């Protein structure tokens, strides 16, 4: 059954989830990281405390943390209710249950808000949105995009996906995207065409299995590297 969402929702994941979703090893984490469409994830907050260099970009950052929390509170009941009504569509290994998933999302949001309130001055969170970002070519080593590209395939067309990924590749030496399923729990209809175009342009595209799975069969990421 498809998850019914009209807009991108402000759900954030933890540092540990990012490590699992993107197969992040220590050499990966040592790079300068651009995390796009990061929303209220605690990846930046937790990663910064561990000494990593992370820039998070999202249009959501034009709001105060209290407003971001209000947006989360406005959608979380509906999302958890949809998940509870479709138990066979989800894998309960990392998150043990819908209630545990909700708790983990609330914890990530709390860590994000605490960090966001005190960190705008150091530029780790900046307002921006795909398909065009303001940074210079090759500014970052690793680009990550969690739960935006491909997930919202009904809301954003193939051209948007291709242009967004090419923009991330302009900025980053390597790009990783997770998941590759859309909200209807099927592989994104844009995936094959986007990969085909990128390969024609000389990029190497690899679909890699990952340890993280919440959407059933949603345990793969796309890794893109230049020629």
Q: Is residue 106 part of a domain?
A: yes
Q: Is residue 145 part of a domain?
A: no
Name the helix (H) or strand (E) containing 169: helix 158-171
The answer, yes or no, to whether residue 132 has pLDDT greater than 50, is yes
Q: Is residue 161 part of a domain?
A: yes
Q: Is residue 10 part of a domain?
A: no
Q: Is residue 113 part of a domain?
A: yes
Q: How buried is residue 197: exposed, middle or buried, by Cβ count under 10 Å (0-12/13-18/19+)?
A: middle
Return the bridge partners of 145, or none. Answer: 36, 177
Note if the pTM is more than 0.85: yes
Where residue 189 sits, what CATH number does that domain have?
Answer: 3.40.50
Q: Is residue 144 part of a domain?
A: no
Q: Is residue 3 part of a domain?
A: no
Give dist(CA 70, CA 53) in Å, integer. Answer: 28
Quote the Cα angle for 165-172-134, to 5°.
Answer: 75
32-59 tens-digit pLDDT: 999 999 999 999 999 999 999 999 999 9
Q: Is residue 7 part of a domain?
A: no
Tokens encoding 191? 């995936």
177-204 tens-digit pLDDT: 999 999 989 999 999 999 999 999 999 9
Q: What is the mean pLDDT of the chain?
A: 93
Supply the range of the domain harboring residue 204: 15-135+152-225
What is the number of domains present in the chain? 1
């Amino acid at each position: 059954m498809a998850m019914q969402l009209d807009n991108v929702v402000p759900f954030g994941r933890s540092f540990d989830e990012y490590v699992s979703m993107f197969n992040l090893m220590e050499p990966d984490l040592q790079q300068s990281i651009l995390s796009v469409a990061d929303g209220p994830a605690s990846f930046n907050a937790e990663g910064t405390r561990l000494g990593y260099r992370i820039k998070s970009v999202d249009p959501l950052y034009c709001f105060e943390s209290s407003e971001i929390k209000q947006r989360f509170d406005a959608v979380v009941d509906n999302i958890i209710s949809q998940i509870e009504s479709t138990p066979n569509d989800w894998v309960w290994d990392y998150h043990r249950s819908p209630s545990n998933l909700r708790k983990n999302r609330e914890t990530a949001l709390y860590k994000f808000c605490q960090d966001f309130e005190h960190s705008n001055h150091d530029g780790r969170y900046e307002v921006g949105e795909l398909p065009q970002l303001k940074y210079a070519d090759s500014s970052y080593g690793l680009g990550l995009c969690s739960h935006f590209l491909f997930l919202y395939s009904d809301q954003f067309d193939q051209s948007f996906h291709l242009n967004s990924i090419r923009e991330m590749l302009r900025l980053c030496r390597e790009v990783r995207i997770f998941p590759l399923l859309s909200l209807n729990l099927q592989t994104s209809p844009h995936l094959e065409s986007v990969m085909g175009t990128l390969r024609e342009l000389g990029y190497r595209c690899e679909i890699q299995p990952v340890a993280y799975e919440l959407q059933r069969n949603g345990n793969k990421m796309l890794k893109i590297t230049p020629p």
